[in-house]
Amino acid sequence: MVEKKQLNLSINEGDVFFAHEMAINFNPTQFIFDFKSITPRVDPRVQQNPVVAIKHNVVLLDPYHAKRIYELMGKVLKKYEDEFGKIEKPKQIEAYEKKRKSMAKEELATKQFTPDYFG
C-alpha cells in the first residue's frame, strides 16, 4: 500500500508588470528577455528636474525554450488575428513616429535632443 503524503505549496506571485519596451539579447547558453517600464515622474509642486523611473523584469531562457516561446507566440497571435482581425500599428503611433522623424531632422541641425518620455 502506498502511503499518502500531504504537500504544501508556496507560490510567489510576481508583481503585475506592464512592459512597453523590451530588449532581447543572447549568449551561447541563454536568451535574455529584458522587459522595461519607463515612467516619467513629474510633480508640478516641486521646481526640480523631472525624474524618469525605469523598472526592469528580466527573464533568462535556454535557447530551446526561447524557440518554444517563439513558436507559441506565432500560434497565439494567429488565433488572436483569426478572432479579432489583423493587428496593425495604431494610427496615433504612426502620426507620432512621423512627427518625431521630422523633429529629428530639426534636432540634428540644432543638436538639441529631447527624450521621448516628455512629449
Give pLDDT tens digits for 22-38.
999 999 999 999 999 88
Q: Domain residues of the chain, as ranges?
A: 21-110
52 pairs with which residues across the strands?
A: 40
List of the chain residues with pLDDT < 50 = 117-119
Alpha helices, DSSP H only, in the chain? 63-84, 91-110
Predicted pLDDT at 110: 62
The reported pTM is: 0.63
Q: Which three cell numbers stand for residue 32?
A: 535574455
Provide the phi-psi class of 96: left if phi over 0, else alpha when psi is between -120 and 50, else beta: alpha
